[in-house]
Chains A and B, each alone.
Chain A
Amino acid sequence: MDDLRKRAKELIDTSAVKVVIGYEQGTGNKTRALFVENSEVADKLIFDSRCVQNLAAYVTKQEVKSKGKMAITATLPVMRAIIQLASEFQVNDDNLIVIGITPESKIIDFKNLEEVETYVHQFQIEIDARNREILDKLDKMTPSERWKFWIDELSPCFKCYACRAACPMCYCSRCTVDFNRPQWIPVSSNELGNLEWHFMRAMHLTGRCVDCDACANACPLAIPINLLTKKMIEDAKSDFGGYQPSLKGENLLSTFKPDDKENFIQ
């Protein structure tokens, strides 16, 4: 933790960055995002197992971006998100420095995003055993049982959009659901509208989701909406050979590879 604070101070004091995004102690036993703009504040920085919020969601926010060059404390899912954002031209070496944090809470100083990518590529996106079990159970259901499962799960949703706010990939300045000429996705929270919203979100994250679970963690009703994106990760693997966020910008759904087993897109 001292390393982290030292590094943050150094970055601020040398004017390498204008703001360092990290975690601080929140209310109760929770942590929250901290934006370090001067070195005294850096002492508030913490890092422990409670720090699961995906901070990459902030680097695309105008309020943070407008401060100037940013640095971010980044665990593996955050780093993945950063690489995906870079491939979508949202961040680059000129506006972001990544302070990596290993699972052993060690600090890694990355010189550039390419190094971050190299680090990220050591690890595959894998669904954990507990969620895989649930997905298998869902797969075994009949379509009508599955339909009922999702109606039951999603009907309490009152569309607070906390999932969207927490997701690092949901950075669009105008979300599909806010598009109202015409209003393809209904805004009111009813059974069908809720389904449409969450399915649409899962589709938009296909090939992009970094499996950080920020959406499910943010949901005040603890709806397991990450199952939808996890299922899409599984399908992307079985139908398209899977993906890794990459600076080459090869989007899973729009990039044709000669060794693709389907050749319809040629």
Chain B
Amino acid sequence: MAKIGVFICHCGENISATVDCAKVAEVVGKYDGVAISLDYKYMCSDPGQNLIKKAIVEKGLTGVVVASCSPRMHEPTFRKACAEAGLNPYMCEMANLREHCSWVHEKGEATTQKAIDLVRTIVEKVKHNQSLDAIKVPVTKTALVIGGGIAGIQASLDIANSGHKVILIEKDPSIGGHMSQLSETFPTLDCSQCILTPRMVEVAQHPNITLYTYAELESIDGFIGNFKVKIRKKAKSIDEKICTGCGLCTTKCPNKKNPSEFNEGLGNRTAIYVPFPQAVPNKPVIDKALCTYYTKGKCKICEKFCPAHAIRFDQEDEIIEVPVGAIVLATGFAVKKTDFFPEYGYGRHPDIITGLQFERLASASGPTLGEIRRPSDGKIPETIVFVACAGSRDEAKGIPYCSKICCMYTAKHAMLYQHKVHGGKSYVFYMDIRAGGKMYDEFVRRAIEEDGVNYIRGRVSRVYEKNGKLIVKGADTLLGAMPVEIEADMVVLATAGVANEGAEELAQKLHVSYDPYHFFAEAHPKLKPVETNTAGIFLAGACQAPRDIPESVAMASGAAAKVAGLFSQDELTREPLIAVVNRQAPPVFSSCVGCFLCMSACPYHAIEKEEIKNRQGEVLKTVAKVNPGLCQGCGTCVAFCRTKSIDIQGYTHEEVYSEVMALLND
């Protein structure tokens, strides 16, 4: 016979202002199987929890219903309290009287009646609840970090420094990411390379970090604590163990006219190349798509000159499989190129460039050695126009969001220009200046007030060429939308930050959800910013949304803390609220008929085939089996199962049915 304790919480006045809690307790107290029913001002407080514990011990309760806030708030609190009093925690359920009743209704009889109905359904459910035990799974204490930009570097170092192994993979020949391309960084104007390269070297030297550059994720299997990942190490066509990184090959390669990715197409590179001087590892790779030997069948000049004989033209992609316990996604972002903008000439004019290209022009390691020169004729621009929000916050362009970093880097660009080109004129067209952040607004004010950058609030409708000048047509909305026309020598577009190409495929591979713009989605926008919906996979940096360096680094450390927390235990405890396929006595074994529709429906690949064999090893029946480590308890398989052979523990057919019937049979 069930002995249920019902505990009605006032939640201060949150519930009691509209619900007559004493009446709810009184009415529910008379139901069959309810041994005690009382109300209290704050059930989550220590005295409140003690009321529950005392009742469990004194009345010998078999189940507990706490009618208070959403279970997302305090379910762990009350389940823990019950466990402390000796009751299985999964015999405790919550009725949501706050979000589902008191907050959304006026004070009145009907509101109290609804509260009674809600409590009654949960009482009926608890009568059918079964004791459950937490699931324990072992943890592989190695983390995989995907992406070697600043976020990936920071996450790798933090995890490695907490004593765990890290595998860092980067698709390019060197780690460093976008940060290595930047000239200076806001708001301090310190050199990007100077602060980044020590971290890159630290990664290379760290005993806990295995670095695979020129490598991509091939496939993933498994679940939190127990992933199995396959990594494709793309053929570099050199033997890294022998190569000394002397760089002779890159000077001898005759195939020199290839646009350099690192310089955003403003400079050239050879087919065998090291992306930039401080690259880590500082060893070249052969770009098979460009190399004359691979495309035309002869050349091999690099092989002839290599003093270490390290060139390997016959090298093939290698796929390695490694077990990892957690994954940090730090794949970064991309920026829209100028060809995205018909109003700014479709990228046809060489002197209309992106912000990232401007970074390369301003960088000492860039194609102009840090002098601001026009790509078209190498002249120093006397008038330069910066266009903020190029693509961002533009519904018509399909990018309604703010790219966040552009206000700051545009101020930085204008400032750098003024510092480098004395007497030059700079204009910034902006929609709003979004400079939230420590020392950020001061930085923008400095650009305007000290460096004399002209800020014009308004958008640029068109840029076109006339007599060797770029005519920038815009409006000044602070002067009543007065048309503005500027004859510029160069135009820099702060183009929108967008998700990386291939982000969607990667997300699907990893079963990580993503937003409409293909940025990876965090599990909760406020309280779980670095977690994803897939347990054990975390996010860092701009793969989640456009982020600046301080935010990316903070996020990376956050993700690393989550990984370290996960790795602090040898076993992982998981909620047992997962799907289970029934088992019965022979000769039926299970009501499952093995159609495996559940298998194709399961978004987590948690369903396997299990062969039931006799003692001779003959297969008697093949039925579905749920992997408890992978199952997230979503219930899709339950809906698909025609034979009703699958139940979600904690939400079984019987439990849900009794809830529904309690609501219907008032």
Contact = CB atoms under 8 A, between A and B. Distances in A.
Interface in A164-193: 171-176, 179, 181-182, 184
Interface of A (DSSP majority class): loop
Interface in B634-657: 640, 642-645, 653-654, 657
A266 B644 contact: no
B594 interface: yes
A185 to B, nearest CB: 10
A251 interface: yes
Given A173-B593, A176-B642, A181 B654 contact: yes
Contact of B596 (A89, A255, A266): A89
B654 A182 contact: yes
Nearest to A182: B657
Contacts of A172: 593, 642-643
B508 interface: yes
B594 A89 contact: yes
B588 A173 contact: yes
B597 interface: yes
A220 interface: no
Interface string B616-629: 00000010000000
A176 B643 contact: yes
B654 A174 contact: no
B568 interface: no
A209 B622 CA distance: 23
Contacts of B642: 172, 175-176, 204
Contacts of B593: 90, 171-173
Given A89-B595, A172-B593, A174-B643, A184 B600 contact: no
B45 interface: no
Contacts of B640: 253-254
Contacts of B310: none
Given A174-B643, A266-B508, A181 B653 contact: yes
A249 interface: yes
Given A88-B597, A89-B594, A254-B600, A184 B643 contact: no
B600 A179 contact: no
A179 B646 CA distance: 12
A251 to B, nearest CB: 5
A250 interface: yes
A174 B601 contact: no
Given A89-B622, A266-B508, A179 B644 contact: yes
B657 A184 contact: yes
Q: Which of A88, A172, A253 has the most CB of B within 10 A?
A: A172
B591 interface: yes
B658 interface: yes
A255 B643 CA distance: 20
Interface string A6-41: 000000000000000000000000000000000000
Contacts of A171: 593
Interface in B377-401: none
A181 B591 CA distance: 13
Contact of A174 (B594, B600, B645): B645
A50 to B, nearest CB: 31
Given A173-B588, A181-B653, A266-B508, A251 B644 contact: no
A88 B643 contact: no
Given A89-B622, A172-B643, A251 B657 contact: no
Contacts of A89: 594-596, 622
Contacts of B591: 173-174, 179
Given A175-B643, A179-B643, A179-B644, A254 B595 contact: no
Contacts of B654: 181-182
Given A89-B594, A89-B622, A182-B657, A254 B643 contact: no
A249 B597 CA distance: 9
A176 B642 CA distance: 6
A250 B643 contact: no
A181 B654 CA distance: 6
Nearest to B584: A174
B375 to A, nearest CB: 38
Contacts of A173: 588, 591, 593, 643
Interface string A177-221: 001011010000000000000000000100000000000000000
Contacts of B657: 182, 184
Contacts of A184: 644, 653, 657
Nearest to B622: A89
13 contacts: A89-B594, A90-B595, A171-B593, A173-B593, A174-B644, A174-B645, A176-B643, A176-B644, A179-B591, A181-B653, A251-B597, A254-B597, A254-B601
Interface of B: 508, 588, 591, 593-597, 600-601, 622, 640, 642-645, 653-654, 657-658, 661
